[in-house]
């Protein structure tokens, strides 16, 4: 399958807020990104950064009166925000699919694997049970599940974690979607199984040309799979760049923190460098930079600017943008001093 530069999913100024008893929770504010056909965008951030919520909003899965979604989400030219829920439903599972973190809780415990797969086929295609079952068997075989016919008649709890995630992937890809949203697909799995699942995703992407939005907090996964990266913090995109740039030329102190917290074998250091403090409460957002309260370098910016003014997402080089008040020279100096980012 050839990869084109055609934009499949275009998100502009997506904001999601929830009305709660404690106040308005701004889970996602003004996030914009593009996903091109056949490419992988990784959305990186810690829990509560808004990465999952933004994808659920795209899928139209934030129903209920308490969620407010605004902005534009254009999928292959079709506007999804504010669209007829029935139209969005028809896209789900057929052209946009999703897999989740914990495959045990994401599969229905009371129905056989086969029945769940057949249902996924038949909701979008008028095919006989036998044909749908054949398709289900094909997909299970494709995702590397042995003795398919037997597995079809088993229940989720009879499979291992890795097998369950393979079933989830088979179910997501069964209607050959153009976009797959993978929400922490390997987080709940053993390390060895994680690698297998990532390999599988990569192979399937090549084979089917599926674009992937990969939500993760694991930069190892990002390096493995992503073409582009969006780093989210406190509901905002704080840095967006091609994957190489994120690792070699990171521009934002939060991204530096993320990189510094990856254990590295070849670096002679006795301990990891965690980011001090906690993520911001999404109810009372800081007025300035969302990361300022935890930022080690905010004092290098004059006039207390970090605490008072939210930095814009500024382009630092082609395809690379970051939200930070530090000057380019300051960032270069800090990266050099702290040995952040891999040398070219």
Positive or negative: CA dihedral 320, 326, 329, 334 = negative
Phi-psi domain of 277 (left: phi exceeds 0; alpha: psi -120 through 50; beta: other):
left
| Of the candidate residues 11, 25, 59, 182, the single one contacting another protein (CB under 8 A) | 59
Q: Counting contacts by CB under 8 A, is residue 160 touching another protein?
A: no
Q: How many residues bind another protein (CB under 8 A)?
A: 31
Q: Counting contacts by CB under 8 A, is residue 158 touching another protein?
A: yes
Of 86-94, 192-200, 253-261, 265-273, the window that binds another protein (rule: CB under 8 A) is 86-94
Positive or negative: CA dihedral 278, 50, 48, 25 = positive
Q: Counting contacts by CB under 8 A, is residue 93 touching another protein?
A: yes
Q: Counting contacts by CB under 8 A, is residue 108 touching another protein?
A: yes
Q: Counting contacts by CB under 8 A, is residue 248 touching another protein?
A: no
Q: How far apart are CA 244 and CA 233, in angstroms?
A: 20
Q: What is Dmax (Cα atoms) for the chain?
A: 70
Query: What is the Cα gyration radius of the chain?
Result: 21
Q: Counting contacts by CB under 8 A, is residue 83 touching another protein?
A: no
**CB 32: neighbour CB atoms within 10 A?**
16
Do 232 and 240 contact (CB within 8 A), yes or no? no
What b/e string do you get for 247-274 counting C-beta neighbours within 10 Å, with b at 16 or more?
A: bebbbbbbbbbbbbeeeeeeeeeeeeee
User: What's the closest the beta carbon of residue 187 comes to another protein, in angstroms?
Assistant: 13
| Of the candidate residues 92, 134, 202, 335, the single one contacting another protein (CB under 8 A) | 92
Q: Counting contacts by CB under 8 A, is residue 46 touching another protein?
A: no
Of 87-95, 126-134, 195-203, 206-214, the window that binds another protein (rule: CB under 8 A) is 87-95
Q: Counting contacts by CB under 8 A, is residue 16 touching another protein?
A: no
Of 166-174, 215-223, 319-327, 335-343, the window that binds another protein (rule: CB under 8 A) is 166-174
Give the residue with the Cβ less far from another protein, 175 or 196: 175
- The tokens describing 19, both together, are 């009305």
Give the residue with the Cβ less far from another protein, 148 or 172: 172
Q: What's the DSSP call for residue 86?
A: H
User: What's the closest the beta carbon of residue 115 comes to another protein, in angstroms?
Assistant: 10
Q: Counting contacts by CB under 8 A, is residue 74 touching another protein?
A: no
Interface residue list for another protein (CB under 8 A): 59, 61, 65-66, 89-94, 97-98, 100, 102, 105-110, 112, 119-120, 123-124, 155, 157-158, 168, 171-172
């Amino acid at each position: 399958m050839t990869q084109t530069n055609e934009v499949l999913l275009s998100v502009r100024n997506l904001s999601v807020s929830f009305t709660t008893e404690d106040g308005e929770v701004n889970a996602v504010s003004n996030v914009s990104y593009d996903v091109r056909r056949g490419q992988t965008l990784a959305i990186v951030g810690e829990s509560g950064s808004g990465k999952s919520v933004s994808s659920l909003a795209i899928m139209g899965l934030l129903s209920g009166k308490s969620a407010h979604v605004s902005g534009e989400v254009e999928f292959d030219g079709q506007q999804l925000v504010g669209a007829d829920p029935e139209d969005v439903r028809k896209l789900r599972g057929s052209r946009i699919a999703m897999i989740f973190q914990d495959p045990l809780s994401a599969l229905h415990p009371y129905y056989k694997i086969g029945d769940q797969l057949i249902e996924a086929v038949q909701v979008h295609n008028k095919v006989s049970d036998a044909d749908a079952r054949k398709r289900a068997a094909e997909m299970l075989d494709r995702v590397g599940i042995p003795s398919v016919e037997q597995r079809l008649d088993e229940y989720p709890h009879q499979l291992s974690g890795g097998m369950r995630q393979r079933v989830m992937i088979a179910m997501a890809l069964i209607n050959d979607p153009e976009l797959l949203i993978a929400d922490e697909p390997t987080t709940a799995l053993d390390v060895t199984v994680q690698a297998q699942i990532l390999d599988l995703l990569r192979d399937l992407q090549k084979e089917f040309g599926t674009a992937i939005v990969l939500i993760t907090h694991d930069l190892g996964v990002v390096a493995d799979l992503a073409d582009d990266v969006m780093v989210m913090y406190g509901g905002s995109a704080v840095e967006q760049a091609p994957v190489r740039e994120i690792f070699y030329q990171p521009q934002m102190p939060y991204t530096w923190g993320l990189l510094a917290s990856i254990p590295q074998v070849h670096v002679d250091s006795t301990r990891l460098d965690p980011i001090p403090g906690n993520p911001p409460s999404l109810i009372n957002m800081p007025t300035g930079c969302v990361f300022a309260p935890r930022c080690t370098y905010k004092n290098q910016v004059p006039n207390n600017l970090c605490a008072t003014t939210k930095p814009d997402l500024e382009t630092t080089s082609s395809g690379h943008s970051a939200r930070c008040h530090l000057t380019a020279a300051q960032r270069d100096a800090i990266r050099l001093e702290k040995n952040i980012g891999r040398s070219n």
